[in-house]
Amino acid sequence: MEKITNIVSKPTLPPPHGGRLVNRLLEEEPEAYAHLPAVQLSERSYADLELIATGVYSPLEGFMGQADYQSVLEYLRLANGLPWSIPITLGVDPKTARGLRRARLVYRGETVGLLEVEEQYRPDKEAEAKKVYRTCDQAHPGVAALLASGEVYLAGPVWLFRLSRGDFPEHHYTPAETRALFAQKGWKTVVAFQTRNPIHRAHEYLHKVALELVDGLFLNPLVGQTKSDDVPATVRMQAYQVLLERYYPKERVLLGVYPAAMRYAGPREAILHAISRKNYGCTHFIVGRDHAGVGSYYGPYEAQEIFELFAPGEIGIEILKFEHTFHCRSCGTIVSRRTCPHGPEHHLLLSGTRVRELLRAGEALPLEFTRPEVAEVLRKAYQAQGGVGWKS
């Protein structure tokens, strides 16, 4: 983890969403609460707990009550009017919920936090799926996770015992830590980039165009729960590191993980991702084609268009909207439809299926698609799985 030093500087980064950076970390021993009834957390719920407690989800201090829940679904705002796009809730079965007032939160057999239960309510999950995911199709991973969660939502403030830095402790920062690092580096403007995939040349193009406009790049890959056929976080992190080592200015990039679970909520998730990066201290956020999408549930640029529902400055982070970029053989570089005059027969476009075919065959990925160092990381990881695909 990059060292953070104490410095005195004039604040230049955006204030946290809602004006205050939430801190719900509790410096006490979990054993003192062993007498409380237990609520078991899924991987997704544990990720939400951490993001609430460390301020990534500021101004939330706990799982949402019904007023906020309904307002977010209907109006893309919390009940107080602050922009917010996805309900952050904790579902349990009715037996667990019955009479519950205070609970210890348990994840993988360990007590990790506390919940003060202020409210219980039963959501209409079909309505929630239609609003958040635009579908009730259980083939959608977000819908499947929603329908598998408990019938009763528990709401109230939470506390987290001892922050776990997960599988990537040297790259696992809280918003308070990233803000200190940005200030230490003298960055007054910072662009964040969200990814759940290895970085290819088109991504690199977006980063470097953005770095012409701002002081620093916060490469913030999502490392929480994803689909089983997504590239595992350990492989992706290795690919990011070899890429940053050779092709990026070290003094202008910070690699830090985003420990959220992927919801695949497309446009609504783009808003949540932007708010999270604002809380980390970023001034700009890149939104490209089909951000946080899956399948064909969303239009290719709906994740950009949804920001038009808010007044300028209302979310508090500037959105950099990029069209789909690709390599054009005739232009000899990365382009988009806005900059390239040539037809699709000139363009190198590799689908995920085609990339897996090449990896399965042990063949090199084209240099125009990805850097050779990244291709080698992917090839070795794929072959280590017997050439049959990724395993989570």
Tell me the CA distances in angstroms from 152 to 5, 89, 121, 149, one per residue in order.
45, 10, 6, 9
- Say if residues 134 and 298 touch (Cβ distance below 8 Å): yes
- Say if residues 283 and 13 touch (Cβ distance below 8 Å): yes
Angle CA(301)–CA(302)–CA(304) in degrees, nearest 5? 70
- Name the phi and psi angles at 188, rounded to 5: -100, -20
Tell me the CA distances in angstroms from 352 to 179, 216, 385, 389, one per residue in order.
35, 30, 17, 11
Tell me the CA distances in angstroms from 58 to 223, 276, 281, one per residue in order.
20, 8, 12
- Within the chain, strands assigned E span 25-26, 38-40, 62-63, 90-92, 102-107, 110-116, 119-121, 152-161, 190-193, 216-219, 253-255, 284-287, 318-321, 325-328, 333-336, 347-348
Q: Identify residue 234 by its one-letter amino acid code.
A: T
Burial class (CB in 10 A: 0-12, 13-18, 19+), 146: buried
**DSSP-assigned letters across all residues of 311-341:** -TTSSSSEEEE---EEEETTTTEEEETTT--
Classify 287 as helix, strand or coil.
strand
How far apart, in whole angstroms, are the C-alpha atoms of residue 319 and residue 298? 19
Classify 55 as helix, strand or coil.
coil
Active site residues: 196-197
How far apart, in whole angstroms, are the C-alpha atoms of residue 13 and residue 136? 39
CA torsion sign for 319, 338, 269, 56 is negative
- Say if residues 210 and 284 touch (Cβ distance below 8 Å): yes
| Nearest of 176, 177, 251 to residue 217 by alpha carbon | 251
